[in-house]
Chains A and B, each alone.
Chain A
Amino acid sequence: EAGVTQFPSHSVIEKGQTVTLRCDPISGHDNLYWYRRVMGKEIKFLLHFVKESKQDESGMPNNRFLAERTGGTYSTLKVQPAELEDSGVYFCASSPRNTGELFFGEGSRLTVL
């Protein structure tokens, strides 16, 4: 069974540019999460989808971040325009049910120069 896949693995962009990160959850997992780890700090929750609906987006930093999950399959996280403080590793995770066990992808490292 394929795990959670994320693309790109690393993105380097200039401040003010736009980046879109993609996550393909494990097939059949209705729950999809985005988390972010800024260098040396804790992994922080961004938002949670149940199928195509946003269940909780309380962790989204500001309106420069937009997450979508059209059709309830893969998800995208767009940052527009990117700022220096957006640099970090963005993790996607999925779960088949609300048990707390999350399956994480390898992350997308974003560097904003």
Chain B
Amino acid sequence: GENVEQHPSTLSVQEGDSAVIKCTYSDSASNYFPWYKQELGKGPQLIIDIRSNVGEKKDQRIAVTLNKTAKHFSLHITETQPEDSAVYFCAADPLLYGGSQGNLIFGKGTKLSVKP
């Protein structure tokens, strides 16, 4: 079955710097890759996602890249702010053929700390 590895487990950056979180997956059939942000005391919230027919997607300060050949995808946050501090999870969905089943395989999470 699908396995998702996420690195690093913790990341500390200065405000204004960029942060990059990387994930690899094992199942070449996976076609949907969401990223979730979990703030303290809250549930995970989808911040960006990418599907296999796209190599890169941007949304303001957040971007995700996907390399299907190498089976890895990355989250890039530019101009980080203190409110970006949270735990970030990558995930892969191995069943997206005309409709995801929602059985996501998550990485272990990255705790991002942005220091003012």
Contacts of B34 in A (CB 8 A): 100-102
Q: Residue-by-residue, is B91-116 near A (CB-CB < 8 Å gives 1, otherwise 0)?
A: 10100100111111111110000000
B28 contacts partner chain A, Cβ-Cβ < 8 Å = no
B32 contacts partner chain A, Cβ-Cβ < 8 Å = yes
Are A31 and B43 in contact (CB-based, < 8 A)?
no
Are B46 and A101 in contact (CB-based, < 8 A)?
yes
Least CB separation from A100: chain B residue: B100
A45 contacts partner chain B, Cβ-Cβ < 8 Å = yes
Q: Could you tell me the distance in whole angstroms from the C-beta of A51 to the nearest C-beta in chain B?
A: 14
| Contact residue among A43, A59, A97, A99 (Cβ-Cβ distance under 8 Å from B44) | A43
A-B pair number, CB within 8 angstroms: 69
Least CB separation from A55: chain B residue: B101
Are A104 and B100 in contact (CB-based, < 8 A)?
no
Are B42 and A106 in contact (CB-based, < 8 A)?
yes
A87 contacts partner chain B, Cβ-Cβ < 8 Å = no
Contacts of A35 in B (CB 8 A): 104
Least CB separation from A43: chain B residue: B106
A56 contacts partner chain B, Cβ-Cβ < 8 Å = yes
Q: Residue-by-residue, is B34-48 near A (CB-CB < 8 Å gives 1, otherwise 0)?
A: 101000011111100
A42 contacts partner chain B, Cβ-Cβ < 8 Å = yes
Contacts of A56 in B (CB 8 A): 101, 103
Give CA–CA (A105, B32) in the complex, Å: 21
| Contact residue among A40, A43, A98, A107 (Cβ-Cβ distance under 8 Å from B89) | A43
Are A106 and B41 in contact (CB-based, < 8 A)?
yes
> What are 21 A-B pairs at a CB distance below 8 A?
A33-B103, A35-B104, A42-B105, A42-B106, A42-B109, A44-B106, A45-B103, A56-B101, A56-B103, A91-B43, A93-B102, A97-B99, A98-B99, A99-B100, A100-B32, A100-B34, A100-B49, A100-B93, A100-B104, A101-B34, A104-B44
- List residues of chain B with CB under 8 Å of any chain A CB: 4, 32, 34, 36, 41-46, 49, 89, 91, 93, 96, 99-109
